[in-house]
């Protein structure tokens, strides 16, 4: 026995909402596809004139001839910073989740879960800008130390 209503026999409002949601989803997919197509079509002439490999070259020369656009360094920094962020965030997130669900008393679990939900509701850029404004001025001493003693490390 199932509680599911056969397709097409739902209420009119549900069918209208479902159709509207599907239409909106398809519209978003179409717009993103058109934007990607436009960007690729506009980038192809510049990439065709580039004599270096776009993905693996580190040369960046937009003023001279020939034009060279290499984003290997940009890709490397993006991947490296993402991996470092994951190495920090995943163990912390799993630990908090295990604590909330398995070890915390019920009153603390409810409060902590609510706080985590509130933290997740704030976009990460807000935390980044807050950290830049609050912690940035106090980090100059640490920055000098890191540059002096760990400046050789390519991070």
pLDDT per residue as tens digits for the range 72-117:
888 998 999 999 999 999 999 999 999 999 999 999 999 999 999 9
Spell out the residues 6+ positions from residue 104 whose beta carbon is closer than 8 angstroms to its own: 112
Mean pLDDT of the chain: 87
Contact criterion met (CB below 8 Å) for 56 and 68: no
Residues 6+ apart with CB under 8 A from 52: 59, 68, 69, 70
Q: Which two tokens stand for residue 18?
A: 């479902």
Domains in the chain: boundaries: 1-49
Helix (H) or strand (E) holding 74: helix 72-98
Instruction: Return the pLDDT at 55.
Output: 77
State residue 63's pLDDT score: 79
Burial class (CB in 10 A: 0-12, 13-18, 19+), 61: middle
């Amino acid at each position: 026995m199932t509680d599911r209503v056969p397709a097409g026999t739902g209420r009119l409002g549900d069918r209208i909402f479902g159709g509207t949601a599907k239409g909106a989803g398809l519209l978003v997919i179409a717009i993103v596809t058109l934007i990607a197509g436009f960007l690729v079509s506009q980038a192809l002439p510049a990439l065709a004139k580039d004599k270096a490999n776009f993905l693996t070259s580190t040369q960046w020369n937009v003023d001279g001839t020939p034009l060279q656009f290499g984003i290997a360094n940009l890709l490397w920094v993006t991947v490296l910073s993402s991996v470092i962020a994951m190495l920090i965030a995943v163990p912390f997130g799993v630990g908090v989740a295990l604590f909330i669900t398995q070890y915390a008393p019920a009153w603390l679990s409810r409060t902590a879960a609510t706080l985590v939900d509130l933290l997740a509701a704030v976009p990460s850029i807000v935390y980044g800008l807050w950290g830049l404004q609050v912690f940035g001025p106090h980090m100059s001493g640490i920055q000098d130390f890191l540059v002096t003693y760990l400046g050789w490390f390519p991070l």
